[in-house]
C-alpha cells in the first residue's frame, strides 16, 4: 500500500498547506480518508476523484470535510456517484447536504463495524472528540494501516490499532499544552499509542501551524523509535 499525504494541517492550513486528507492506494483500490480544505485539488492531481473506491470521513468538523461541497459539483458534472462512510452527527449542516445529494451514497457507521471495499477490510475504530468521531484500521493483503482521525486518549485504541505497519495519528499538542479535556492527543501520547499497539511506524499529523513541529517530533521520538512528521505532498510505503 501507498499513503499519499495530501493535507496534514488542522484546524487551519499553514501557508500553501491543506487540512486533513489522505489517499490510500492499495493494489486494487483508492481509498480517500477525509477531504479537508485544499485537499480536492491535490487529489485531482493524482487521480480523478470519481475514480475513488470510497471516501471515509473521520467526523464532520470543517477541517476534515470542507472540500465535499465542491467535490459534489464535480461528481454532478461527471454524472458519477461516490460512496461515503461517516459517523452520524445530527448537528452537522454539511452532513444534511451530503445526505440529500444524489451524487453521494452516504453510509452511517459505528465503531466496531467492518466495511469491505474490494480486497480491503476497513474496521471502524473509536475516537474521543467533542463531536461523534471515528478512526479507521485498513487491512489489505498482509499490510495494515491505521488512521486515528481526531482523538484524545482512549484505553481501547491500542487494541484497535494493534499491529499497524503504519499508524497515522493525531499528535497536535506539545506535552505542555495537552490535558485530558482537550480534543486531541499530544505527540508523546500518539507515540505511546503506537508503541502499545505495536505499530512499526508512527506518522504524526493534524499539525497545527501554531506549534513547533520539531518539538512535536522530539517529544514523540522519546517514546517511539520510528516517528515521522507528516508532510503534504509526500508518499509513504505502508
Ligand atoms: Zn481536525
Ligand atoms: Zn475535529
Distance CA 101, CA 66 (A): 15
User: Ligand 1 center to residue 79 CA distance, Å?
Assistant: 30
Residue 123's CB is within 10 A of a number of other CB atoms, namely 19
140 touches 164 (CB < 8 A):
no
pLDDT at 196: 98
Nearest Cα residue to 87 out of 125, 49, 54? 125
What residues of the chain score a pLDDT lower than 70? none
Ligand nearest to the CA of residue 34, numbered in listed order? 1
Q: Work out the percent of the chain whose per-residue pLDDT is above 70.
A: 100
- What own/partner pairs with CB < 8 Å and gap ≥ 24 does 137-146 have? 137/161, 137/164, 138/1, 138/24, 138/26, 138/31, 140/1, 140/26, 140/27, 140/29, 141/26, 141/27, 143/1, 143/238, 144/238, 145/1, 145/3, 145/24, 145/238, 146/197, 146/199
* CATH among 2.40.40.20, 3.60.15.10, 3.40.50.1380, 3.20.20.60 for 2-237: 3.60.15.10
User: Ligand 1 center to residue 31 CA distance, Å?
Assistant: 19
CA distances 172 to 9, 128, 139, 140, 205, Å, are 9, 14, 26, 28, 7
pTM of the model: 0.97
Residue ranges of domains in the chain = 2-237
CB half-sphere exposure, 222, CA atoms < 13 A: 11
Identify the residue whose cell numbers are 520539531. 214
pLDDT digits (tens, 9 = 90+) for 129-183: 999 999 999 999 999 999 999 999 999 999 999 999 999 999 999 999 999 999 9
User: Ligand 2 center to residue 91 CA distance, Å?
Assistant: 13
Ligand nearest to the CA of residue 12, numbered in listed order? 1
Amino acid at each position: 500500500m501507498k499513503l499519499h499525504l495530501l493535507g496534514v494541517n488542522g484546524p487551519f492550513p499553514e501557508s500553501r498547506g491543506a487540512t486533513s486528507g489522505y489517499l490510500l492506494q492499495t493494489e486494487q483500490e483508492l481509498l480517500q480518508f477525509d477531504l479537508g480544505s485544499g485537499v480536492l485539488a491535490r487529489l485531482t492531481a493524482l487521480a480523478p476523484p470519481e475514480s475513488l473506491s470510497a471516501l471515509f470521513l473521520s467526523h464532520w468538523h470543517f477541517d476534515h470535510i470542507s472540500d465535499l461541497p465542491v467535490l459534489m459539483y464535480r461528481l454532478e458534472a461527471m454524472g458519477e456517484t461516490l460512496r461515503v462512510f461517516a459517523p452520524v452527527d445530527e448537528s452537522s449542516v454539511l452532513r444534511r447536504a451530503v445526505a440529500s445529494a444524489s451524487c453521494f451514497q452516504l453510509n452511517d457507521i459505528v465503531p466496531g463495524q467492518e466495511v469491505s471495499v474490494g480486497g480491503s477490510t476497513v474496521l471502524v475504530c473509536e475516537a474521543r472528540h467533542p463531536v461523534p468521531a471515528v478512526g479507521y484500521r485498513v487491512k489489505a493483503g498482509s499490510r495494515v494501516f491505521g488512521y486515528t482521525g481526531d482523538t484524545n486518549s482512549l484505553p481501547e485504541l491500542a487494541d484497535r490499532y494493534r499491529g499497524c505497519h503504519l499508524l497515522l495519528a493525531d499528535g497536535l499538542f506539545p506535552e505542555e499544552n495537552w490535558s485530558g479535556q482537550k480534543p486531541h492527543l499530544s505527540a508523546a501520547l500518539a507515540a505511546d499509542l503506537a508503541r502499545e499497539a505495536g505499530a512499526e511506524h508512527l506518522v504524526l499529523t493534524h499539525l497545527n501551524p501554531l506549534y513547533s513541529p520539531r518539538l512535536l517530533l522530539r517529544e514523540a521520538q522519546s517514546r517511539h523509535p520510528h516517528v515521522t512528521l507528516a508532510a503534504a505532498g509526500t508518499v509513504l510505503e505502508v
